[in-house]
Amino acid sequence: MGNRPEELRALLDSVAKQEGDPIRVVVVGNGAPLPELPDLPGGVRTVELPENLGIPGGRNVGIEAFGPGGREVDVLLFLDDDGLLPNTDTAELVRRAFETDPELGIVSFRIADPDTGVTQRRHVPRLRASDPMRSSRVTTFLGGANAVRTKVFQEVGGLPDEFFYAHEETDLAWRALDAGWMIDYRSDMVLHHPTTLPSRHAVYHRMVARNRVWLARRNLPAVLIPLYLGVWLVLTLARRPSRPALRAWLGGFREGWTSPCGPRRPMKWRTVWRLTRLGRPPVI
């Protein structure tokens, strides 16, 4: 969004230092002009959008910069502009992961604070998140630090533009799992990123609630929708949010039911079972 030029340059420098074949880069200005960018061995494409399309919309534009569904490349690496790759072998680890596992569709990186090395629990995409150093199969991934096989986008489509912010990764993850792909969390693939709170965004509570409802309406078998959303309603109330936060959350929850959510493609029951075996049945 044009407000982190120094961090963006540091990130691009860390991409340029990756071992192996040069990485082709596209930088999307999401409703903001781009700063001057360094030359990279693999080249840099730029796209300046006249308006902010949100996180999924901006990333979809980046995908299409490499042809429909990103078909010019085999794997797409997504990195937030205030992140940094501290190790030089990350790209090679990504290449090796996809080459050795033909069922692997998405890889989620470990996000660590650059000063403390700490990984927040919310950045470990599974229920048992106490050990961020344990790699495993998972059911979702982190949007600002991941790699996706382009065949996934070509088979199931891109991120849901209408979400704008929150839960767009899980929507894609569920569709990928339903198509037979697997998702890995890899603790050895690291992105440095300052520790932050998601609630720093003014739209956080409303969009988290709205998109949670949309996620269920789009992807879950009808019988599971009230179970899934009921659990999240109880969990939200148990966390005792402030009155303004709760008001925004309830408004978003209502909006999720009354506004269009995009196409509905409920997952197969075998996918429900797969999610359950991976430790996160789609009611939690």
Residues 174-228 have pLDDT tens digits of 999 999 999 999 999 999 999 887 755 558 999 999 999 999 999 999 999 999 9
pLDDT at 126: 94
- Rounded CA-CA distance 149/102 in Å is 10
Strand 25-29 versus strand 104-112 pairing type? unpaired
> 251-276 b/e with 16+ CB inside 10 Å = b?
ebbebbeeeebeeeebbeeebbebbe
In tens, the pLDDT along 229-277 reads: 999 999 999 999 999 999 999 999 999 999 999 999 999 999 999 999 9
Beta strands in the chain (DSSP E): 25-29, 44-48, 75-79, 104-112, 136-138, 145-149, 182-192
User: CB-based contacts of 15: which residues, under 8 Å, 6+ apart?
Assistant: 23, 25, 40, 79, 85, 91
DSSP type of residue 88: S
Q: What's the rounded Cα separation, in Å, for the pair 164 and 201?
A: 12
Domains and CATH numbers, the chain: 5-196 (3.90.550.10), 199-277 (no CATH)
Q: Is 171 helix (H, G, I), strand (E, B) or coil?
A: helix
What is residue 200's predicted lDDT score, i.e. its pLDDT? 54
Q: What gap in Å lies between CA 195 and CA 283, rounded to an integer?
A: 29
By CB atoms closer than 10 A (0-12, 13-18, 19+), residue 57 is buried
Reply yes or no on whether the pLDDT at 30 is more than 60: yes
Cβ neighbours for 17, distance < 8 A, ≥ 6 positions apart = 85, 88
* Average pLDDT of the segment spanning 19-46: 95
Taking Cα atoms as reference points, which of 114, 115, 116, 109 lies closest to residue 133? 109
The confidence score (pLDDT) of residue 2 equals 87
pLDDT value at 49 more than 80: yes
50-80 pLDDT tens trace: 999 999 999 999 999 999 999 999 999 999 9
Q: pLDDT band at residue 86, thresholds of 50, 70 and 90?
A: very high
**What's the chain's average pLDDT?**
95
Compute the distance between CA of residue 164 and CA of residue 250 in angstroms, rounded to an integer: 18
Instruction: Give the global pTM.
Output: 0.96
pLDDT attached to residue 284: 86
Q: What count of other Cβ atoms lies within 10 Å of the Cβ of residue 24?
A: 17
